[in-house]
Structure formats: C-alpha cells, structure tokens
Amino acid sequence: MNQTTIPEFTLVVGVDAKHLQQLAMVWPTWLKHKPSFRTTPFLIFRDRDQVMEQEVREVMGGHRRLTIVEWPPKPMTFAGNNTNKWTNAQRYKMLAGFVHVPAMHVKTPYWLKVDTDTVATGQADWIDPNWFWGTPAIISQRWGFTKPADQMMALDRWVDRSKWKLPLWASTTEPLNLIPMPGWSRVKHGRIISWCGFFLTSFTRSCAQMANDTCGDYQLPVSSQDGYTFYVAERAGLGVLRVGMKSKGWQHRSNFTGIRQAVRESMQ
C-alpha cells in the first residue's frame, strides 16, 4: 500500500428501521460536505426483519456504487435481556454486523464506518493521508472510557479461555487489565469510539474469524464492535490511531432532535 496516498476504502452503514430514518436525514449532509461519497463504494447492510431493500434504495437515490446486503445472512438470535442499552439484543445484532459484514463483503484495503446519527458539517478534503502510515488497524475518533465498566475485563477472560483457538498474540501478550474503580459505571482509559472511523479490512476479517471460532457464527465476545476491535488491535499491537473527527467536519448527535437541528444548520 502506498503510504503517501489515501488507500481505497468502502463506506459501510448498517440500518434497521430506526437507523434508516436517521440515514434519510443525514445523507444529504454527507453528499453536500463530503462530495467524494458520491463515487465511493458504499455497502449498506439492512436488518432482514425490519428493512426492505427497496426502502434503502429510495433513501439513497440511485448511488451508482451501492451494494445492499441482508443482515444477518440467516435467521438467528442475538443475546440480550433488553434491561438497558448494553444488554439490548437489537443493538448487539447491528453492532455485530459491523464486524461480520465488512469481513464478508468489503474488497477495498480499508472500510469507513459512519454512524447514521453523524452529520457532516464541512471539509470536503477531510482525510489525512498520514493517518495511514504504518497501516494501522483502526483510525477513529478518540475517546476516554469504556462502558460497561467490566467490558475490557470480559475480553481479558475471553482470551484466557480461548487461547488455543486464537492467533499467537493471545498467548504472547499480557491482559490489558483495565479494572474499574469500585462502584464506577465506566473504566477510564484511552481508546476509540467508532461513530466515524476507518478499519483495516484484513484486520476486520481476522476479528470476524476469531469471533466465529470462539463465540459461534456471527456473534462477538462482547456486544460492542468498537470495544471488541479496539481490544484486539491494542493487545496485539496492530496500531490504533486516535484522531479528532469533530475537527474534520463531523458532528455526532445522540437523538433525533439533535440530528434534526444539526442537519438544519448543516444544510443552510
């Protein structure tokens, strides 16, 4: 890979009924402020139970390099008792898609995850080619904690019980040992959050294979795509670049009201 240029990448988005509504709202801002997305390969995986292919095509308005796939590939369940965000089965289902779908379908060296609650605000030439020096596994928005607080510990335990099914790094590296303070709902540490982030496709394929081998088809060791992939990249020393996507013309909003407001401001 030529490290002085931006490698080819595929934009990847996942939609269930809620996120398709969000995509319809933010897509015009992506087209306005990130015009290269008009010709970027675009992969959308749709929840097989909630969204029809034609509904996605109506939102996308004839994107010429669009691929739509069904998720999951076969009827199956994802664990969760839905008592809170972290145990929500639907959330887990869609986050698992951000590991397994790119692993199966992306053909470019990297893929870009942009969440549907992310609004483009400016900077057409926003991607820094220097980010890709050394071929890092992850380039994403910097973040300072993990929730739930025991997620990194759960991944340490996953490696301990699965070493014989995992690559060499699992037995030659130390646990991250990110242990929260007693009673805390989070553990503080430098990591990424993936509402806007690039992932090395070969690394994603490895993560998907490890999850399949140790947890079953299309599952993850924890119900978090960025938590899982960050953990593997960090422990295996594969390169995690934490950057400021907000300074590159992106806004991340947490609800429909915030999205609508940011879209109005962006489209003025």
Distance CA 166, CA 210 (A): 6
Q: Where are the domains of the chain?
A: 9-267
∠ CA 19-45-104 to the nearest 5 degrees?
150
In this structure, are residues 140 and 183 in contact, taking their beta carbons and an 8 Å threshold? no
pTM over 0.85: yes
Q: Model confidence over 137-166: pLDDT tens digits?
A: 999 999 999 999 999 999 999 999 999 999
Phi/psi of residue 138, nearest 5 degrees: -140, 135
- The sign of the dihedral angle between the CA atoms of 27, 31, 33, 35 is positive
Neighbours of 91 (CB within 10 A): 17
CA Rg value for the chain: 18
DSSP 3-state of 192:
strand
Distance CA 197, CA 140 (A): 4
Could you identify the residue written with the tokens 């962006």? Answer: 266
What CATH code would you report for 9-267? Answer: 3.90.550
Instruction: State the pLDDT at residue 2.
Output: 44
Judging by DSSP bridges, how do beta strands 118-120 and 110-114 pair with one another? unpaired
Q: Model confidence over 116-142: pLDDT tens digits?
A: 999 999 999 999 999 999 999 999 999
How many residues does the structure list for the chain? Answer: 268
Provide the 8-state DSSP code for 208.
H
What does pLDDT average to in each consecutive run of 10 residues of the chain (268 residues)? Answer: 79 98 98 96 98 97 95 93 86 98 98 98 96 97 96 98 97 96 94 98 98 98 97 98 97 96 97
Distance CA 68, CA 266 (A): 27
